Amino acid sequence: MLLPTRPSILYRPFQPAFEKTLQSYSEYLPSLTDPFGGGIQFYGFYMDDLNVNQMFVIPEGCMSLVICCYPDAPSANICGTLFKGRQGFFVRSECEYFVIRFLPGYAEHFFRYPIGEFSELEIPVGDVIPNAAELLERVALRKTFHERVRAFEGFYQTYIGPQLEVPRLIAYLTDQIICSRGTLHVNDLSKDTGYSSRYMIKAFERYIGASPKLFSRIIRFQHVLELLEMKDYKKTLEQIFELGYFDQNHFIKEFKEFSLTTPKKYVIKGTTGPADLMDASLNTLSKHL
């Protein structure tokens, strides 16, 4: 499969609390031909006192390296794959944050540990990466987001070197799940590849940090968020309920598990635009959610 056509490489997770709330939010998606092979994305923002307790991180099937760029006292945590929505990753206010997101399957190459060991955890980067102090020094002292991207690239080329790689089986499975928007069953993947469900689960726990089933649910949820950003809510509802939810209660329960809110409240709080233009659409959606 040609690299540019891989759905896993083109996957772009959505974190609404950051992207829609923080005016300082910036992101950078490197070229597919750079040393990261398309397996890394960057984003950054300034966290102030007003927002520090309002930030909720939702599952995305990825692992991140979060750097707080205090010039005099920088710090960084490895944030493992999340199973549920949660609060608390970004707890230092009046700080510029720089985040390196590793797309599904790519983190193991960088950290040299089974990714399942980090799931649902925050671990100081110094406990894992031998040259963590140099990484913090290179990144935190830079003044702009893109200077920090370049600083991380320099660190990567010095200590990691080869292009990020992901095992072929993991690449194929994550491609299939993302392309299907999370609707494929593990048994279907087992028949397709010839590998047992047990083997695939072990591989996913090592390279993704979550089971294929949970990863599929996360991808489906991320697609639901994408659909909810559309303005045609009737069409959105039709597409949502084609994604394999058993019923309305199943959909609402899973949405709340990942987002810490209901679909109705998400739409009301998260949709932009003049209220008088939204009321009719929101009332229609609310009746179904």
What is the model's pLDDT at position 281? 41
Give tens-digit pLDDT for 173-221. Answer: 999 999 999 999 999 999 999 999 999 999 999 999 999 999 999 999 9
Residue 131's CB is within 10 A of a number of other CB atoms, namely: 14
What is the model's pLDDT at position 204? 97
Give tens-digit pLDDT for 8-24. Answer: 888 999 999 899 888 99
At residue 87 the predicted structure's pLDDT band, cuts being 50, 70 and 90, is confident
Q: Reply yes or no on whether the pLDDT at 278 is more than 80.
A: no
Higher per-residue pLDDT: 96 or 161: 96
At residue 287 the predicted structure's pLDDT band, cuts being 50, 70 and 90, is low
**Which of 27, 25, 26, 31 is CA-nearest to residue 4?**
31
Residue 19's CB is within 10 A of a number of other CB atoms, namely: 12
At residue 249 the predicted structure's pLDDT band, cuts being 50, 70 and 90, is very high
HSE-CB for 42 with a 13 A CA cutoff: 21
Q: Reply yes or no on whether the pLDDT at 282 is more than 50.
A: no
Alpha-carbon distance 203 to 212, whole Å? 9
The DSSP 8-state label assigned to residue 201 in this structure reads: H
Higher per-residue pLDDT: 288 or 80: 80
Residue 29's CB is within 10 A of a number of other CB atoms, namely: 14
Q: CATH code for 168-288?
A: 1.10.10.60
pTM above 0.95, yes or no: no
Average pLDDT over residues 53-58: 85
Higher per-residue pLDDT: 162 or 69: 69
| 8 A C-beta contact, residue 36 and residue 80 | no
Q: Reply yes or no on whether the pLDDT at 91 is more than 90.
A: no
- Listed by start position, the domains of the chain span 3-159, 168-288
Alpha-carbon distance 30 to 272, whole Å? 28
> Residue 212: phi, psi to the nearest 5?
-55, -35
What mean pLDDT is reported for the chain?
Answer: 87
